Amino acid sequence: MSGFVYPNEVEVLWRLFIVLYPYVTGLVAGAFIVSSFYHVFGDRDLKPLSRLSLVAALAFLFGAPLPLLAHLGQPLRALNIMITPHFTSAMAGFGYIYTFYMIVLLLEIWFMYRKDFVVWSTEKNGFAARFYGLLTLGAKDISQKALDIDHRVMKVLAGIGIPAACFLHGYVGFIFGSIKANAWWSSPLMPIIFLLSAIVSGVAMLVVVYAVSCKIRREPIKIYCLRALNRYLWVFLIFAASLELIEVLQLGYEGKAEWPAISGLITQHIGFSYIGIQMAMGVLIPFILLPIARIKRLSDSMVKWLTIFPSVLVLIGVLTMRYNVVVGGQLLSKSMAGYTNFGFSWFSNEGVIPALVLLVLPVGFLIILAKILPPWMRPEDELETEPVEEVSTGTTGYPTSAYVMEK
């Protein structure tokens, strides 16, 4: 400790598990919104990710509540939120939003895979055939009319899922932003900052997952898809970083009584993680490298590395941002005259190793789901060729893709 710190502020109560909670939840929201760019807005460059993004969102959604449950002393009591609802509680809001979002996501995935369930139930044998037959829920009509209905319903669900995904993660920022007693947290921009950083981390996660999955399956990466992800990642990174800087600049310009304490926090006590990792490594370097990858003359291998490497840096930067908000906010004493120190532990409760296990678990869920629900493009989807050579640069200066259909 340094300076004057109140006795109840000696121990940091929200530790690494609470850092992971908004981080994993943000990956869910970001992955789903990327899927909506194809299903709702018709960005066909993202077609190779139309399934992978939803399956990844579901896998990370399974892992989202685990850090919270592990943090609770009595995890089974979490069910009381649903059994005895309290609609004015911001904490209880997660249970309602999470349940609604889970229903929407499961329905969208079911409509997307319904045809496959019917086909797999007839092609496979034994338990697998019975399992996929059960997943059809008795709806085995795969005529073109039925599939068109599935597509329209899935598009509606994707449209509903966009605000649901925004609420799912924006509400986390709302919890922190509504805590008036903490000058580092209390800000009306906090929900928007959390939401934009969630989209950024979701896009970056899909870049890494898509690249690794193609490497494991020994299939070439669709460069046009990678360029589209690159473009979205760069744009949302600009918005997210700009809002974070605006928030700090506004606090500094107003110069209220708490500004000297906040200034000391971000320049000294979390200076390395905030300036060095979050801003320099997680924002500045990707901001420079990502647009370079969209230069036409670059080889495919350079495009890959100039997109994948910054995406990894973005994931690290967003995780550090969550740490700086959750833990950093607790280092600042309410007296505005002192700071609490935070020390990492390896194997203790909420230590580094348990946190890494909870962070890797959603990846394990994704591997299992990918076996049950293969998220790769179907053979009939391959009839749509990759984009032909660029036909125009449009008003943005970037190539516009053109597609042809082979019949």
- List the chain pLDDT tens, one digit each, 407 residues: 777 887 777 888 888 999 999 999 889 988 888 888 888 888 888 888 889 999 999 999 999 889 988 888 788 887 777 777 777 777 777 778 888 889 999 999 999 999 999 999 888 888 889 999 999 888 888 889 988 998 899 989 988 988 888 888 788 888 888 888 888 888 888 889 998 999 999 999 999 999 999 999 888 889 999 999 999 999 999 999 999 999 899 888 887 888 888 998 898 889 999 999 999 999 999 999 999 998 888 888 899 999 999 999 999 999 999 999 999 889 988 888 888 888 888 888 888 999 999 999 999 999 999 999 998 866 555 555 445 444 444 444 444 443 433 33
Nearest C-alpha neighbor of 320 from the set 21, 14, 12, 23: 23
For residues 246 and 189, is the Cβ–Cβ distance under 8 A? yes
Report the pLDDT value the prediction gives residue 281, as an integer from 0 to 100. 94
Contact 356, 321 (CB under 8 A): no
Per-residue confidence (pLDDT) for residue 7, from 0 to 100? 78
83 CB neighbour count, 10 Å cutoff:
7
Q: CB within 8 A of 245, min separation 6: which ones?
A: none
3-state secondary structure of 10: coil
- At residue 24, the pLDDT reads 92
Instruction: Return the residue matching tokens 């329905």.
Output: 107
Domain ranges in the chain are 2-373
The answer to whether 321 touches 335, Cβ cutoff 8 Å, is no
The CA distance from 71 to 89, in Å, is 19
Looking at the DSSP assignment, which residues form a beta bridge with residue 400?
A: 392
Q: Which residues of 351-370 are buried (b: 16+ CB within 10 A; e: fewer)?
A: eeebbeebbebbbebbeebb
**Per-residue pLDDT, 379:** 55
What is the CATH class of 2-373?
A: mainly alpha
Q: Which residue has the tokens 């280092």?
A: 331
Amino acid in position 29: A
| 171-219 confidence digits (pLDDT tens) | 888 888 888 888 888 888 888 999 899 999 999 999 999 999 999 988 8
pLDDT at 389: 43
For residues 406 and 395, the answer to whether their CB atoms sit within 8 Å is no
Q: What does the pLDDT read at residue 391?
A: 43
User: Distances from the Cα of 317 to the Cαs of 230, 273, 277, 291, 329, in angstroms?
Assistant: 17, 9, 6, 18, 17
Predicted local confidence at residue 339, as pLDDT: 86
For residue 9, the model assigns a pLDDT of 77
CA dihedral 182, 185, 191, 195 (to 10 degrees): -150
Encoded tokens for 201: 């981390």
> pTM for this structure?
0.87
Distance CA 150, CA 108 (A): 9
Give me the pLDDT at residue 87, please.
73
CA distance 263 to 271: 10
Positive or negative: CA dihedral 295, 301, 304, 305: negative
